[in-house]
Structure 1
Amino acid sequence: MSGPYRYSSGIKRTFHAADYAVTGATLLISALIGVYYAIKDRKKNTPEDYLLGGRKMHVIPVSMSLLSSFISAITIMGVPAEVYTYNTMYWWTSIAMIVAAVGSAHIFIPVFYKLGITSIFEYIEMRFGRVNRMVACSIFMLWMIFYMSFVMYAPSLAINAVTGLSLQGSMLVVSLVCIFYTAIGGMKAVLWADTVQMCFVFAGVICILVQTSLIVGGFDKAWEIASKNNRIVFFELNTDPRHRHTVWNMVVGGGIFTCTVFGTNQAQIQRVLSVSSLSKAKLTVWLNVLGITAITTLSVMVGVAMYAFYATCDPVSFGLVQRNDQLFPLLVMDTLGDLPGLPGLLLSCLFSGSLSTISSGLNAIAAVMLEDYVKPHCCKEMNSRFHTMLSKVSVIVIGLVSLAFAILVAELGTLMLQLVNLLFGVLGGPILGIFTLGMLFPWANKWGALLGILSSLALDSWIVFGTYMHRVSVTLPSPLSTEGCNWNISSNATLAPPSVAAFAASGSTSVYDKYTGVDKIYSISYVWYAGLAVLTNVVVGVIISFLTGPTKPETLNPKLVCPVFDIFFPWLPNKCLHFLRFGVRHERVYEQETLQLTKDRKSVSLELNAQMRYDNIGAEINSQPVKTKLSEVIVSDDEEPPLMQHKYENKCRIRKPSDSQLVTKF
């Protein structure tokens, strides 16, 4: 590294005034977006506008918002730290995302979209009753509050590392800015702020990757250094589920826990439901796959370059930072600290990642509070303005509660990335399990669903607490070097140089052979927690349902069950498909693909595309789009009126030519 500065001397660079100014400007941009939409939409006070953007949002900002909800500061800081500490196996989460996208876009989202709901937990009540809905809502609320706490903590950890500003002060700034623009701007502010913030994230990650690679002699040189020290590992094929990261763990187990985010998480589904058609909703998910693959790959590459940069002097052992999660901001300062303003711009990507995730979570919790707690129990007769105000108050209250939990999170000492993935498994897994039980197993009843979700939550919680109480660890971090540290002139550490070999002859050390009895269960890899929860939920749910009297599939509303074989195996004979529907009457289901009202000066144009999937013998029928400039759509005598999913201000009607009375009004 050229120039007089050497991090190995024990001296840290800190923020310049220009860096503070740039970081502050980033926060100000997000706040101004909220102010803009608060003014622009001040006359639109319906919950649908506030929580779903009027269901008219564009695919691109929705896709960017989906991406930002998943890619937080935890990812930006955590993935490079994961590579630095262990190896590159985490990259396989990109492939796991494909597995999750298949389940999300083609199983869960179509069901939610066709029901026209705001909160996905409305489905739980339709399928399993009020009690199960409240249980699932409570688990979700706990999940998101803890998750947002981690996300608030992550950028504060970074700022603390490079500025000395207290963790509590940093968290207070991040949370207040996010609460402000989410509360006043609603969904539209969240989506467009997320889009701007993700641009900062991509720019920041690419910039630090290029600069670090140049300093170490090119990315090929960084790859060579990391490879020599066992950080480049992609094909760990061990089938033992206790092994921390393997191809099978990451693709299968990782695919399931990723589906907890993109398939049955209110924060994600709420964004998907804000577009105008089901086809666009599916497109947003697949565009998101590309974004996650890109940012995960870039973050892994940053981890490789970061390891090469610190290969001979580990900053944690040297006392420059306290945790590996602080290495990314330290790297920014070490490589770009002599350029005032640029470190502030790059660290803004951490703020951006956190702001977008927190705002998505707050908006989702506001929807859940209104649709699942307020409307079903009280205030039903209140107007839309009152409901919107309640949503805004919910954002503020939950934001402050999350801030309080974030202060507690600061006391934990494990890699944030692993803690968050663990959280997805323990709390997200049971939620994914109950939706899987409801949509794919038509025999399941309310008792099976209730005992299924509670047993899966109990099992995962027992394993997690047992793991931490017994201090079970399956894979030890790879050894690090301190041979290049100048311990004689360091002003940071009072400890002696650790007795660590200059470089390890092998990578991660497996220790699972020493565990016996119940410790073998505790040693299961954290990436399987979500899959274990889903399996437990389904098995217990089906067994209890048959013991207490299974639901008769023919009595179910077919919109509540996913015709999974029709979707993935449409080439099967009709008789076979009919059998594989297990008695659910999908034959008379109408699918509405698009519904769009367009105003012009003198008339209302209604475009309706109603598709009847199957007739009584299972043959597929596709009706042609009906276009008219009249206020009335006429259907034939043997057709049923298409199912309308959304409410519009314009009144249109559908009638049969033999009946002069109004059939459907929407």
Structure 2
Amino acid sequence: MTASPDVPGFSIADYVIFGLLLLVSASIGIWHACTGGKQRTTGEFLMANRMMGPIPVACSLTASFMSAITILGTPAEHYIHGCMYSLFGITYALVMILSAELFMPIFYKLKVTSAYEYLEFRFNSKFVRVLGSATFICQMVLYMGIAIYAPSLALNAVTGFTLWGSVLTCGLVCTFYTTIGGIKAVLWTDVFQLTVMVAGFLAVIIQGSINVGGWGVVMERSRAGGRLEFANFDPDPTVRHTVWTVLIGGIFTWLPIYGINQSQVQRYLTCRSMKAARIAIYLNIPGLGLILALAACSGLVMYASYYDCDPFTAGYVNQSDQLMPYFVMDILSFLPGLPGLFVACMFSGALSTVSSGLNSLAAVTGEDIIKQIWPKMDDNKYTKITKILALSYGLLCIFMAYISSLMGSVLQAALSIFGMIGGPLLGLFSLGMFFPWANSKGAVVGLFSGLIMSFWVGIGGFIYKPFVEKPPLETYNCPNETVSNITTTTMQYVSGQTTAAFNTITTQEAPVTIIQDTYPAIADYYSISYLYYGGVAWIAVIVVGLIVSFITGPTKPEEVDPKTISPLADKCCCCLSASTRETLYCGVQFKVEEEEKKYSLDNKPNIADTSDANVQVDIDDGVVNGTTLQHESGL
């Protein structure tokens, strides 16, 4: 098929389908506000009384960061650059293993509500805890505004669907069901929204394949167009996507999300046992793999449809994230309701991301700030405050969407901030969990060093954009008579030399060559793949944190609470003898007497308190002894 400068707009049926998404999501919130405990306690509102099963939690973990940005960007990535991005399926599996075995057990055994409580447990410093919380709050508030605005903008540009109507509608509906229904509403709406995402992708893949003549044609055209490359083993760190950048750099991109991000940690801590939490995390391997596969297939179907007339190069769309909405309106508009289904798919990603963020922001602000100021606050009052916090963050999210609209070309830089902050935060938690010598001074200086390094490289990469070699995009069969062919050539610059990237545009008139400005030699450093940003920051936090810790007086490993250290020797060297593993503990007292294999709540680090010292938690599966665990942080 051939791309067209104009595509049909939304029909009444499309608006109805989109409206049903919002109605069902809101109804789930109302249901959980009126049933069970009616969200009257913080234990239910923030943690679902820690009694959830693995299936809904797994769906929520999958949906929470499969945002609309991902739903738009992943198909476009495969359309423009090819299938190297699909190797993230392996990365997801590695990240889930690390999260389930190294990070989750620490959080679960401590029975935290906020992941940043761990920082005070480990470093015995409220400042480190608040610093980590504040960093997370800044990260999520900015990201959530963009998570709503970016898909609304793309949809508006292609379909004419009202921009601020979609921003306000999604923002308000999401805020509504999150505020009244708590985390149970978030979890179950994520299950519904994940189903909608899958249905939307399937509609695009099936109809698109039919239009081009079948899946065999899709694969043939994709292969001829160079979109099926999976084996680029180039060790050059400046190449955008290779096997190494995706597998190694991808771990440092996604592990901060599934390992230590409050939105995800809070979800698997709602599980009734550690075993259930581990199952929920591992179920994300097929879950994320399915979404990635559907998005990749959508991108290949889109390329097969436009292999001879690229709408992006031809100027029918202005941004790559508009390709997918354009394609949907082009191939599905003759079937009333199906474009609406994909829009529902796209905004399901936005709703799941924002609702998870709102609930986690309320938890972090309440636990790490409000309860530190008023530690003896009545739980009923505290529950009302957390609901007000969720509502306030929802309104702030909508405001940040407006701020995003003023950013213009800075929007892409703002999106990358999420990744640039994640690496340093992962480094901070890794410093505490894997290096018993680290102290609070090393943690603070290390975190700031990582943030500086990450933002320096990230902003430099945005200013001095690296040259990316792309497979060809053709326009020889476009109906626009002013464009007969476009050949894109991209050159890598050489350090210290005058270089340029250029596009030769062949039209009915004379060829035009567009030359970019000369890049300075330092651009070599900034040209590192964006997937390595988190890894660079992680290394900076660990190295600087350990150096500062040893200079200022390292923590003695035997004095560190073993519940705050991840026993790498047991996880990675389980085949070694007990004495050898004990040596690898580096002095940390991991051994526990058999009769003491129960955690009583008052054995938690001394900053935690409880009124019931008889409640015990099993060290292996985290089962609460028949009692709902209520944790109150003291000063």
Task: Report what 2:85 is aligned to.
Answer: 90
The answer to whether the 8 A contact 2:274-2:623 is kept is no
Of residues 454, 477, 490, the one that matches 1:484 is: 477
Task: Report what 2:279 is aligned to.
Answer: 283
1:473 aligns with 2:466: yes
Task: Report what 2:424 is aligned to.
Answer: 430
Task: Report what 1:217 is aligned to.
Answer: 213
Equivalent pairs, count: 593
Query: Residue 512 and residue 176 in structure 1: after superposition, are their counterparts in 2 closer, same or farther (change >3 A)?
Result: farther
In structure 1, C-alpha distance between the alignment counterparts of 2:143 and 2:262, rounded to whole Å: 13
Task: Report what 2:516 is aligned to.
Answer: none
Can you give the 5+ residue segments of structure 2 that lack an aligned partner in the other structure? 500-518, 602-613, 631-635
In structure 1, C-alpha distance between the alignment counterparts of 2:628 and 2:616, rounded to whole Å: 16
1:148 aligns with 2:132: no
The answer to whether the 8 A contact 1:474-1:512 is kept is no
The answer to whether the 8 A contact 2:32-2:38 is kept is no
Task: Report what 1:65 is aligned to.
Answer: 60
Task: Return the letter of the residue paired with 1:400.
Answer: L
Task: Report what 2:540 is aligned to.
Answer: 536
1:50 aligns with 2:45: yes
Q: Provide, for residues 518-542 of structure 1, a one-character-per-residue CA deviation record: whole Å limited to 9, x for no partner.
A: 2111111100011111111000011
Q: Give the 5 Å matches for 1:158-237.
A: 158-237=154-233
Of residues 433, 446, 457, the one that matches 2:451 is: 457
- Residue 429 of structure 1 and its aligned partner are, at CA, apart by 0.7
Task: Report what 2:627 is aligned to.
Answer: 648
- Residue 11 of structure 1 and its aligned partner are, at CA, apart by 2.2
Of residues 355, 360, 369, the one that matches 2:356 is: 360
TM superposition score normalised by structure 1:
0.84
The answer to whether the 8 A contact 2:476-2:485 is kept is no
Task: Report what 1:441 is aligned to.
Answer: 435
Task: Return the letter of the residue paired with 1:208.
Answer: V
SS in 2 for 1:500: strand
TM superposition score normalised by structure 2:
0.88
- Residue 351 of structure 1 and its aligned partner are, at CA, apart by 1.2
Query: How well do the aligned residues superpose, as a CA RMSD in angstroms?
Result: 2.6
Task: Return the letter of the residue paired with 1:529.
Answer: Y
In structure 1, C-alpha distance between the alignment counterparts of 2:238 and 2:453, rounded to whole Å: 16
In structure 2, C-alpha distance between the alignment counterparts of 1:374 and 1:645, rounded to whole Å: 26
- Residue 567 of structure 1 and its aligned partner are, at CA, apart by 1.7
1:526 aligns with 2:526: no
Q: Provide, for residues 379-420 of structure 1, a one-character-per-residue CA deviation record: whole Å limited to 9, x for no partner.
A: x23221211111111112112222222233345667989964
Task: Report what 2:559 is aligned to.
Answer: 555
Task: Report what 2:570 is aligned to.
Answer: 566
The answer to whether the 8 A contact 2:39-2:181 is kept is no
SS in 2 for 1:586: coil
Query: Residue 182 and residue 571 in structure 1: after superposition, are their counterparts in 2 closer, same or farther (change >3 A)?
Result: same
- Residue 610 of structure 1 and its aligned partner are, at CA, apart by 4.5
- Residue 85 of structure 1 and its aligned partner are, at CA, apart by 1.7
- Residue 161 of structure 1 and its aligned partner are, at CA, apart by 3.5
Task: Report what 2:12 is aligned to.
Answer: 17
In structure 2, C-alpha distance between the alignment counterparts of 1:171 and 1:593, rounded to whole Å: 46
Q: Provide, for residues 577-630 of structure 1, a one-character-per-residue CA deviation record: whole Å limited to 9, x for no partner.
A: 1110011100027555999xxxxxxxxxx9988469xxxxxxxxxxxx9xxxxx
In structure 2, C-alpha distance between the alignment counterparts of 1:167 and 1:650, rounded to whole Å: 44
Q: Give the 5 Å matches for 1:303-342.
A: 303-342=299-338
Of residues 381, 385, 396, the one that matches 2:380 is: 385
- Residue 280 of structure 1 and its aligned partner are, at CA, apart by 1.0
SS in 2 for 1:433: helix
In structure 2, C-alpha distance between the alignment counterparts of 1:649 and 1:108, rounded to whole Å: 23
SS in 1 for 2:348: helix
In structure 2, C-alpha distance between the alignment counterparts of 1:43 and 1:487, rounded to whole Å: 59
Of residues 247, 250, 259, the one that matches 1:254 is: 250
Query: Residue 82 and residue 413 in structure 1: after superposition, are their counterparts in 2 closer, same or farther (change >3 A)?
Result: farther
Query: Residue 610 and residue 121 in structure 1: after superposition, are their counterparts in 2 closer, same or farther (change >3 A)?
Result: closer
Query: Residue 162 and residue 20 in structure 1: after superposition, are their counterparts in 2 closer, same or farther (change >3 A)?
Result: farther
Of residues 396, 400, 404, the one that matches 1:405 is: 400
In structure 2, C-alpha distance between the alignment counterparts of 1:646 and 1:351, rounded to whole Å: 40
The answer to whether the 8 A contact 2:87-2:247 is kept is yes
In structure 1, C-alpha distance between the alignment counterparts of 2:625 and 2:128, rounded to whole Å: 26
Of residues 344, 350, 371, the one that matches 1:375 is: 371
SS in 2 for 1:475: coil
Q: Which range is displaced more, 98-107 or 422-431?
A: 422-431
- Residue 554 of structure 1 and its aligned partner are, at CA, apart by 0.5
The answer to whether the 8 A contact 2:209-2:215 is kept is yes
Query: Residue 356 and residue 254 in structure 1: after superposition, are their counterparts in 2 closer, same or farther (change >3 A)?
Result: same
Task: Return the letter of the residue paired with 1:29.
Answer: V
The answer to whether the 8 A contact 2:413-2:462 is kept is no
Can you give the 5+ residue segments of structure 1 that lack an aligned partner in the other structure? 489-495, 596-605, 613-624, 626-642, 652-666
In structure 1, C-alpha distance between the alignment counterparts of 2:172 and 2:629, rounded to whole Å: 39
In structure 1, C-alpha distance between the alignment counterparts of 2:366 and 2:629, rounded to whole Å: 25
Task: Return the letter of the residue paired with 1:68.
Answer: A
The answer to whether the 8 A contact 1:425-1:528 is kept is no
- Residue 644 of structure 1 and its aligned partner are, at CA, apart by 8.4
Larger Rg: 1
Of residues 576, 579, 582, the one that matches 2:586 is: 582
Q: Provide, for residues 607-661 of structure 1, a one-character-per-residue CA deviation record: whole Å limited to 9, x for no partner.
A: 988469xxxxxxxxxxxx9xxxxxxxxxxxxxxxxx986893699xxxxxxxxxx
In structure 1, C-alpha distance between the alignment counterparts of 2:371 and 2:615, rounded to whole Å: 32
In structure 2, C-alpha distance between the alignment counterparts of 1:610 and 1:45, rounded to whole Å: 27
Q: Which range is displaced more, 581-590 or 181-190?
A: 581-590
Task: Report what 1:497 is aligned to.
Answer: 483
Question: What percentage of residue pairs aligned between the two structures are identical?
Answer: 39
The answer to whether the 8 A contact 1:278-1:593 is kept is no
Task: Report what 2:346 is aligned to.
Answer: 350
SS in 1 for 2:312: helix
SS in 1 for 2:283: helix
Q: Give the 5 Å matches for 1:68-147.
A: 68-128=63-123, 129-147=125-143
Q: Provide, for residues 99-132 of structure 1, a one-character-per-residue CA deviation record: whole Å limited to 9, x for no partner.
A: 2112210111000000011001001111121111
Task: Return the letter of the residue paired with 2:483.
Answer: P
